[in-house]
Structure 1
Amino acid sequence: MSAPVATGVIPELFRGLFDDAAVFPPGNLPIAEAVPAHRVHRAAWYAEAVGPFLCGAGRLGELAAVVTGGATPPASAAVAAATARGAEEAGATPLRVGLVLPGGSAELAPALAAAAPFELAGVELATRDAAEAVAELDRLLPPHVPAAVELPRELLRGDGLDAVLDVLVDSPYRAKFRTGGLVAEAFPDEDELAAFLTGCALRGLPYKCTAGLHNAVRHTDPETGFEHHGFLNVLLAAQETDRAAAAAVLAERDGEVLAKAARALTDRQVTVIRNSFTAFGTCSIAEPLGDLAALGLLSSPDPLPQEDR
């Protein structure tokens, strides 16, 4: 049985896929604007697509000040209008925060303490030593809180990839892979990303991605010339265990081809894909939703959000 694209709701393939990384580059939205915008997203009809609010360890104090009223967010027209439509209701719920710790395990204990005012949705820990990171997460992380471990891409090439994935597969934690950045070298090619995806798939290891995946379909950015992976490409490649097959899916640039493949997925395939590719951080919630609507994979009962970066 095929999994149809639902009307007026978020299809299972995209639920919880878009972690809100509005305060990270290239969006760099001020926290005082990003928090009310996130609350708008969480009160909107597409809320099921939106994951937690991502915040770096060094900005948790600023975030707490905004959430508790210590900073007044600018009354932009978009935020004001959305608030009138029900953002106040979303503001009554605790802010779900994902901690992003680029400084490694040394940041874990103080960040957990600083995150006390929030509902902790997860931890993303960058490290150069997967085993050490796993040990520290085991020691300090509350048992109900999920985590993802990110290693530099240069350590995931050749035999290094297998070694890291083998460490993580024996832990309760996801892998995290960086799919873009502010320079061309930050974007892995299809083969490198395919190696990571299939390595995880063969082990049954879940993962998240971050950076460069705002759009659904692989493309060349007309301003920077950077080669961006599409999140729909990654979703479809997540079910592959053959590296060449995964690379071919990642290389596809025809949105209609990808949309047709997404519509043909069975319920079981959707489950396999989302058990593997759990989420990605995006500094825009509007862009991915708009792309899905344009491809006919999302039918919106109300207007989509305006650009939020």
Structure 2
Amino acid sequence: MRPAHLVPPLFAGLCDDAALFPPGNAPVAEAVPAHRNHRNAWYAPLVGPFLVGADRIAEVGAAAEETGGTQRPLDVTLVVRGGPSGLAPALEETAKWPGLHLVGVELGPDADGSVAEAAARGCAVLDRELPGQHVFGAVELRRDPAAHAGSGSKSDKRETGAMELALDVIAASPYRAKYRTGGLESQAFPSAEELAAFITACASRELAFKCTAGLHHAVRYVDPATGFTHHGFLNILLATHFAVQGADAVAVAEVLADHGAEGLAAVAADLTDTQVERARRAFTAYGTCSVLEPLEDLTDLGLLPPA
């Protein structure tokens, strides 16, 4: 096993293990032991908690106890896609499994009311259900892909304003924001401009955030199978760095749209300790259905040592 310091702080805990989620959809019987292997590997500092959907808790709990042996309980983040109404029963079910150690809750938005009202309900239910538990909470913002279809349009500006009102709500709470950056349909992928608006709005509020879905590689690319343009997690890291340094949404969008792997890697390698700390305090993690993909990409870019 190689020393943990070979994973630099810029990438520490960056990759939450979303192996159970699309498009990976790994079977629980494979995903749980694979996660334990990741957490015992030299690159373990790269890997965050195991993400568990509210509908898979019992299955994961049983697998964690079966594969745990003398190992410590599995660190898990509970993902409640159904929104506030599903949190209490999900927490109750999680508590039944001693092989699961809850470290976080990610709450999906409900469909009622405005984006800000949905965020407020998410914060309220976390306030009610999490006191006394040493876990983080994240509230996912509801997106309206149709409203962002024309960048610079009146509807796009209205949607950005609605997003900022929701971020005001979350920023007044102890929780972090969550934003969806991809999926199984083209509309699930925000434009560089939309994502830049979110990142700069979080930075101006000193609001931590995480991203989920679609971030399969370090650098922005076009998937030849689907034609979808995917954001790169390294692009988002560096866009966040510039945002917390005061860059505006236009400049941040340019970083998000950059396909230049070598240039992005060079910027990442030159960040100071203080810049790394500020960027990662803002962009806490993202969910990936394959921990090995970011590991391979960062190795190929020279940002991690070769296997």
Name the TM-score, length of structure 1 as normaliser. Answer: 0.87
**CA–CA distance in structure 1, aligned partners of residues 159 and 11 of structure 2:** 29
Residue 295 (1) aligns with residue 301 (2): yes
- For residue 199 of structure 2, give the secondary structure of its aligned residue in structure 1: helix
**CA–CA distance in structure 2, aligned partners of residues 160 and 204 of structure 1:** 18
**CA–CA distance in structure 1, aligned partners of residues 7 and 78 of structure 2:** 25
Tell me what 2:104 maps to: 122
Tell me what 1:83 maps to: none
Residue 280 (1) aligns with residue 289 (2): no
Residue 13 of structure 1 and its aligned partner are, at CA, apart by 0.3
Residue 252 (1) aligns with residue 258 (2): yes
Tell me what 2:155 maps to: none
Q: Among 74, 83, 108, which residue is 2:87 paired with?
A: 108
Tell me what 1:49 maps to: 46
1:1-309 residue pairs with structure 2 within 5 A? 9-69=6-66, 92-116=71-95, 117=97, 118-128=100-110, 129-143=118-132, 144-154=134-144, 157-239=159-241, 240=243, 241-300=247-306, 303=307
Give the letter aligned to residue 279 of structure 2. Answer: I
Q: Which runs of 5+ in 2 are unaligned?
A: 111-117, 148-157
**CA–CA distance in structure 2, aligned partners of residues 148 and 189 of structure 1:** 22
Residue 220 of structure 1 and its aligned partner are, at CA, apart by 0.3
**CA–CA distance in structure 2, aligned partners of residues 96 and 38 of structure 1:** 10
Tell me what 1:79 maps to: none
Distance 1:138 1:297, change over 3 A: same
- Identify which range, 130-139 or 156-165, moves more after superposition: 156-165
**CA–CA distance in structure 2, aligned partners of residues 195 and 151 of structure 1:** 13
**CA–CA distance in structure 1, aligned partners of residues 46 and 293 of structure 2:** 13
Moved over 4 A (4+): none
Give the letter aligned to residue 104 of structure 2. Answer: G
Bigger relative contact order, structure 1 or 2 (CA pairs below 8 A, ≥6 apart): 1
- For residue 153 of structure 1, give the secondary structure of its aligned residue in structure 2: coil
CA contact (8 A) 1:7 1:299 kept: no
Give the letter aligned to residue 213 of structure 1. Answer: L
- For residue 28 of structure 1, give the secondary structure of its aligned residue in structure 2: coil
Give the letter aligned to residue 9 of structure 1. Answer: L
**CA–CA distance in structure 2, aligned partners of residues 209 and 142 of structure 1:** 25
**CA–CA distance in structure 2, aligned partners of residues 139 and 30 of structure 1:** 33
Name the TM-score, length of structure 2 as normaliser. Answer: 0.87
Residue 214 of structure 1 and its aligned partner are, at CA, apart by 1.6
Distance 1:142 1:119, change over 3 A: farther
Q: Which runs of 5+ in 1 are unaligned?
A: 1-5, 74-87, 304-309
Give the letter aligned to residue 44 of structure 2. Answer: A
- Identify which range, 102-111 or 280-289, moves more after superposition: 102-111
Give the letter aligned to residue 265 of structure 1. Answer: L
**CA–CA distance in structure 1, aligned partners of residues 4 and 85 of structure 2:** 46
Distance 1:7 1:137, change over 3 A: closer
Residue 9 of structure 1 and its aligned partner are, at CA, apart by 1.5
CA RMSD of aligned residues (A): 1.7
**CA–CA distance in structure 2, aligned partners of residues 250 and 34 of structure 1:** 31
Distance 1:96 1:246, change over 3 A: same
Which whole-Å deviations, capped at 9, do the CAs of 1:129-185 have from their partners, x for residues lacking one? 111111110011144210100122129923101100000000000000000000111
**CA–CA distance in structure 1, aligned partners of residues 186 and 161 of structure 2:** 24
**CA–CA distance in structure 2, aligned partners of residues 108 and 28 of structure 1:** 22
Distance 1:7 1:40, change over 3 A: closer
Give the letter aligned to residue 260 of structure 2. Answer: D
Q: Percent identity?
A: 56
**CA–CA distance in structure 2, aligned partners of residues 49 and 142 of structure 1:** 29
